[in-house]
Protein backbone atom coordinates (compact mmCIF):
# COMPACT_ATOMS: atom_id res chain seq x y z
CA UNK A 1 0.00 0.00 0.00
CA UNK A 2 1.52 3.35 -1.07
CA UNK A 3 0.20 6.02 1.30
CA UNK A 4 1.05 9.61 0.52
CA UNK A 5 -0.33 12.81 1.90
CA UNK A 6 -1.65 16.20 0.86
CA UNK A 7 -0.69 19.32 2.77
CA UNK A 8 -3.99 20.58 4.09
CA UNK A 9 -5.86 22.25 6.90
CA UNK A 10 -6.66 21.43 9.63
CA UNK A 11 -4.01 18.66 9.20
CA UNK A 12 -2.42 16.68 6.35
CA UNK A 13 -4.64 14.17 4.59
CA UNK A 14 -3.21 10.71 3.87
CA UNK A 15 -4.35 9.19 0.60
CA UNK A 16 -3.63 6.39 -1.86
CA UNK A 17 -3.72 7.21 -5.58
CA UNK A 18 -5.67 4.09 -6.45
CA UNK A 19 -8.49 4.99 -4.07
CA UNK A 20 -8.59 8.71 -4.87
CA UNK A 21 -10.76 10.46 -7.45
CA UNK A 22 -10.89 14.01 -8.73
CA UNK A 23 -14.45 15.31 -8.94
CA UNK A 24 -14.86 18.42 -11.07
CA UNK A 25 -18.16 20.03 -10.14
CA UNK A 26 -20.25 21.87 -12.75
CA UNK A 27 -17.51 23.69 -14.67
CA UNK A 28 -20.21 24.53 -17.19
CA UNK A 29 -20.58 27.49 -19.51
CA UNK A 30 -23.83 28.42 -17.71
CA UNK A 31 -21.87 29.14 -14.54
CA UNK A 32 -18.52 30.45 -15.69
CA UNK A 33 -19.03 32.12 -19.05
CA UNK A 34 -20.77 35.42 -19.76
CA UNK A 35 -24.38 34.88 -20.87
CA UNK A 36 -25.15 31.85 -18.71
CA UNK A 37 -27.31 31.12 -15.68
CA UNK A 38 -24.80 32.67 -13.28
CA UNK A 39 -24.78 35.96 -15.11
CA UNK A 40 -28.58 35.83 -15.62
CA UNK A 41 -28.86 35.82 -11.85
CA UNK A 42 -26.91 39.08 -11.79
CA UNK A 43 -23.49 37.72 -10.90
CA UNK A 44 -20.03 38.77 -12.05
CA UNK A 45 -18.64 35.60 -13.66
CA UNK A 46 -15.06 36.88 -13.55
CA UNK A 47 -15.12 35.92 -9.86
CA UNK A 48 -15.52 32.23 -10.66
CA UNK A 49 -13.28 32.22 -13.71
CA UNK A 50 -10.22 32.54 -11.44
CA UNK A 51 -10.65 28.83 -10.60
CA UNK A 52 -10.11 27.71 -14.20
CA UNK A 53 -6.28 27.83 -14.33
CA UNK A 54 -5.73 26.10 -10.94
CA UNK A 55 -8.31 23.46 -11.98
CA UNK A 56 -6.41 22.88 -15.24
CA UNK A 57 -3.22 22.31 -13.23
CA UNK A 58 -4.84 19.81 -10.84
CA UNK A 59 -6.68 18.05 -13.66
CA UNK A 60 -3.46 17.58 -15.65
CA UNK A 61 -1.63 16.16 -12.62
CA UNK A 62 -4.54 13.91 -11.66
CA UNK A 63 -4.58 12.48 -15.17
CA UNK A 64 -0.81 11.95 -15.02
CA UNK A 65 -1.13 10.18 -11.67
CA UNK A 66 -3.82 7.88 -13.08
CA UNK A 67 -6.60 9.08 -10.76
CA UNK A 68 -10.22 8.47 -11.63
CA UNK A 69 -11.56 11.80 -12.92
CA UNK A 70 -15.29 12.47 -12.82
CA UNK A 71 -17.05 15.57 -14.14
CA UNK A 72 -20.53 16.70 -13.13
CA UNK A 73 -23.07 18.92 -14.86
CA UNK A 74 -26.12 20.50 -13.28
CA UNK A 75 -29.12 20.46 -15.59
CA UNK A 76 -32.52 19.13 -16.45
CA UNK A 77 -34.50 17.25 -19.05
CA UNK A 78 -35.90 19.37 -21.88
CA UNK A 79 -39.45 19.04 -20.51
CA UNK A 80 -38.20 20.03 -17.02
CA UNK A 81 -40.04 17.03 -15.56
CA UNK A 82 -37.06 16.46 -13.24
CA UNK A 83 -36.99 20.04 -11.98
CA UNK A 84 -39.03 20.73 -8.86
CA UNK A 85 -41.60 23.43 -9.76
CA UNK A 86 -40.46 25.31 -6.66
CA UNK A 87 -37.08 25.87 -8.33
CA UNK A 88 -38.49 27.29 -11.53
CA UNK A 89 -39.42 30.70 -10.22
CA UNK A 90 -37.37 32.46 -7.64
CA UNK A 91 -37.80 36.07 -6.64
CA UNK A 92 -40.55 36.44 -9.24
CA UNK A 93 -38.12 35.64 -12.06
CA UNK A 94 -37.80 32.52 -14.16
CA UNK A 95 -34.41 31.24 -15.21
CA UNK A 96 -34.19 27.44 -15.51
CA UNK A 97 -35.48 26.35 -18.92
CA UNK A 98 -35.73 29.84 -20.39
CA UNK A 99 -33.73 30.95 -23.39
CA UNK A 100 -30.38 32.54 -22.68
CA UNK A 101 -27.61 33.57 -25.08
CA UNK A 102 -26.29 29.99 -24.88
CA UNK A 103 -29.58 28.17 -25.28
CA UNK A 104 -32.05 27.03 -22.64
CA UNK A 105 -30.59 27.69 -19.22
CA UNK A 106 -29.57 24.56 -17.30
CA UNK A 107 -31.21 22.27 -19.84
CA UNK A 108 -29.22 19.23 -20.96
CA UNK A 109 -27.96 19.54 -24.50
CA UNK A 110 -27.86 23.33 -24.59
CA UNK A 111 -24.55 25.07 -25.21
CA UNK A 112 -24.61 26.67 -21.77
CA UNK A 113 -25.05 23.30 -20.10
CA UNK A 114 -21.83 22.00 -21.64
CA UNK A 115 -18.52 21.88 -19.80
CA UNK A 116 -16.01 24.62 -20.56
CA UNK A 117 -13.41 23.73 -23.19
CA UNK A 118 -10.47 24.33 -20.83
CA UNK A 119 -11.58 21.43 -18.59
CA UNK A 120 -13.28 19.19 -21.10
CA UNK A 121 -13.43 15.47 -20.23
CA UNK A 122 -11.24 13.09 -22.18
CA UNK A 123 -12.20 9.56 -23.24
CA UNK A 124 -12.92 7.33 -20.26
CA UNK A 125 -13.78 10.11 -17.80
CA UNK A 126 -17.38 9.73 -16.62
CA UNK A 127 -19.71 12.72 -16.79
CA UNK A 128 -22.47 12.66 -14.17
CA UNK A 129 -25.61 14.63 -14.96
CA UNK A 130 -27.24 15.87 -11.80
CA UNK A 131 -30.65 17.50 -11.40
CA UNK A 132 -29.77 19.02 -8.04
CA UNK A 133 -27.03 20.89 -6.26
CA UNK A 134 -25.46 17.83 -4.64
CA UNK A 135 -23.67 15.42 -7.00
CA UNK A 136 -25.00 12.37 -5.12
CA UNK A 137 -28.67 13.37 -5.32
CA UNK A 138 -30.48 11.24 -7.94
CA UNK A 139 -27.24 10.23 -9.69
CA UNK A 140 -25.06 7.12 -9.93
CA UNK A 141 -21.97 8.89 -8.55
CA UNK A 142 -21.80 6.80 -5.35
CA UNK A 143 -22.08 3.61 -7.40
CA UNK A 144 -19.27 4.69 -9.74
CA UNK A 145 -17.03 5.58 -6.80
CA UNK A 146 -17.81 2.39 -4.88
CA UNK A 147 -17.17 0.18 -7.89
CA UNK A 148 -13.80 1.89 -8.40
CA UNK A 149 -12.84 1.44 -4.72
CA UNK A 150 -12.64 5.18 -4.09
CA UNK A 151 -12.25 6.53 -0.56
CA UNK A 152 -10.79 10.02 -1.06
CA UNK A 153 -12.18 12.81 -3.21
CA UNK A 154 -10.43 15.93 -4.46
CA UNK A 155 -13.36 18.25 -5.09
CA UNK A 156 -13.01 21.25 -7.44
CA UNK A 157 -15.50 23.42 -9.32
CA UNK A 158 -18.31 25.88 -8.82
CA UNK A 159 -19.90 27.30 -6.88
CA UNK A 160 -18.11 26.85 -3.58
CA UNK A 161 -21.04 27.51 -1.26
CA UNK A 162 -23.67 25.76 -3.37
CA UNK A 163 -22.81 22.66 -5.44
CA UNK A 164 -19.28 22.13 -4.12
CA UNK A 165 -20.10 22.14 -0.41
CA UNK A 166 -23.43 20.35 -0.89
CA UNK A 167 -21.48 17.56 -2.62
CA UNK A 168 -18.75 17.52 0.03
CA UNK A 169 -21.35 17.22 2.79
CA UNK A 170 -23.11 14.39 0.94
CA UNK A 171 -19.77 12.65 0.33
CA UNK A 172 -18.71 12.98 3.96
CA UNK A 173 -21.93 11.31 5.11
CA UNK A 174 -21.26 8.45 2.69
CA UNK A 175 -17.81 7.85 4.18
CA UNK A 176 -15.53 9.65 1.72
CA UNK A 177 -12.70 11.92 2.82
CA UNK A 178 -12.87 15.12 0.79
CA UNK A 179 -10.16 17.67 0.16
CA UNK A 180 -11.02 20.99 -1.47
CA UNK A 181 -8.24 23.06 -3.07
CA UNK A 182 -9.34 26.61 -2.26
CA UNK A 183 -8.14 28.17 -5.52
CA UNK A 184 -9.89 25.45 -7.59
CA UNK A 185 -13.34 26.41 -6.34
CA UNK A 186 -15.14 29.65 -7.07
CA UNK A 187 -18.00 31.74 -5.81
CA UNK A 188 -19.67 34.92 -7.07
CA UNK A 189 -19.45 36.15 -3.47
CA UNK A 190 -15.99 36.46 -1.87
CA UNK A 191 -17.51 36.36 1.62
CA UNK A 192 -19.33 33.08 0.84
CA UNK A 193 -16.13 31.59 -0.60
CA UNK A 194 -14.30 32.34 2.59
CA UNK A 195 -17.08 31.16 4.91
CA UNK A 196 -17.75 27.97 2.93
CA UNK A 197 -14.09 26.95 3.05
CA UNK A 198 -13.85 27.78 6.75
CA UNK A 199 -16.89 25.57 7.47
CA UNK A 200 -15.42 22.52 5.71
CA UNK A 201 -12.28 22.35 7.82
CA UNK A 202 -13.74 23.62 11.12
CA UNK A 203 -13.86 21.47 14.26
CA UNK A 204 -11.06 19.13 13.19
CA UNK A 205 -12.24 18.62 9.56
CA UNK A 206 -15.94 18.38 10.40
CA UNK A 207 -16.69 17.42 6.80
CA UNK A 208 -13.40 17.76 4.95
CA UNK A 209 -9.99 19.29 4.39
CA UNK A 210 -8.98 22.52 2.64
CA UNK A 211 -5.81 22.85 0.62
CA UNK A 212 -4.68 24.54 -2.61
CA UNK A 213 -3.70 23.53 -6.13
CA UNK A 214 0.06 23.61 -5.40
CA UNK A 215 -0.34 21.27 -2.44
CA UNK A 216 -2.47 18.87 -4.49
CA UNK A 217 0.06 18.84 -7.34
CA UNK A 218 2.97 18.35 -4.91
CA UNK A 219 1.05 15.59 -3.12
CA UNK A 220 0.25 13.80 -6.36
CA UNK A 221 3.87 14.03 -7.51
CA UNK A 222 5.00 13.07 -3.95
C1 LIG B 1 -25.67 26.83 -8.51
C2 LIG B 1 -23.80 25.30 -8.67
N3 LIG B 1 -24.97 27.75 -7.85
N4 LIG B 1 -23.20 24.48 -9.50
N5 LIG B 1 -25.08 25.70 -8.98
O6 LIG B 1 -26.85 26.99 -8.73
O7 LIG B 1 -23.22 25.74 -7.68
Domain range summary for the chain, segments of one domain joined by +? 15-221
Q: What pLDDT is attached to residue 19?
A: 98
Ligand 1 atom, smallest distance to 25 CA: 4
pLDDT, tens digit (0-9, with 9 covering 90-100), for 97-153: 999 889 999 999 999 999 999 999 999 999 999 999 999 999 999 999 999 999 999
- Specify the CATH superfamily of domain 15-221: Isochorismatase-like (3.40.50.850)
pLDDT at 93: 72
Q: Is the CB of 163 under 6 A from ligand 1?
A: yes
Q: Is the CB of 31 under 6 A from ligand 1?
A: yes
Catalytic: which of 30, 55, 83, 130? 130
Active site residue 184: no
Beta bridge partners of 93: 90
Band the pLDDT of 2: cuts 50, 70, 90: low
Tally Cβ neighbours within 10 Å of residue 69: 20
CB 201 within 8 Å of CB 172: no
pLDDT confidence band for 173 (50 / 70 / 90):
very high
Q: What is the mean pLDDT of residues 176-201?
A: 98
Q: Which of 79, 57, 60, 77 minimizes the C-alpha distance to 69?
A: 60
Say yes or no: CB of residue 15 within 6 Å of ligand 1.
no
* Integer Cα distance of 24 and 50 in angstroms: 15
CA of 38 to the centre of ligand 1 (A): 8
Instruction: Report DSSP letters for 136-192, one per residue.
Output: STTSSHHHHHHHTT--EEEEEEE-IIIIIHHHHHHHHHTT-EEEEEGGGEE-S-HHH
Which amino acid residue places its CA nearest to atom 5 of ligand 1? Answer: 163
Q: Among the options 55, 163, 178, 184, which is catalytic? A: 163
Is the pTM higher than 0.75? The answer reads yes
Distance CA 27, CA 31 (A): 7
Sign of CA dihedral 191, 205, 214, 164: negative
- Counting from 1 in the atom list of ligand 1, the atom nearest the Cα of 37 is 6
pLDDT, average across residues 35-39: 85
Whether 156 is catalytic is no
Is residue 26 annotated as part of the catalytic site, yes or no? yes
* Residue 28, CA distances (Å) to 36, 157, 160, 165 in order: 9, 9, 14, 17
Amino acid sequence: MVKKEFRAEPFPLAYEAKSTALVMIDMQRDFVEPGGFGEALGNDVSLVRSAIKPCEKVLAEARKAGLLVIHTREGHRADLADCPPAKLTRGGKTFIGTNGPMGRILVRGSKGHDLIPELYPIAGEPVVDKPGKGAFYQTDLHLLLQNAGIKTLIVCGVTTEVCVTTTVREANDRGYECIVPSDCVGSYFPEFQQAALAMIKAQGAIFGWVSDSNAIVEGLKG
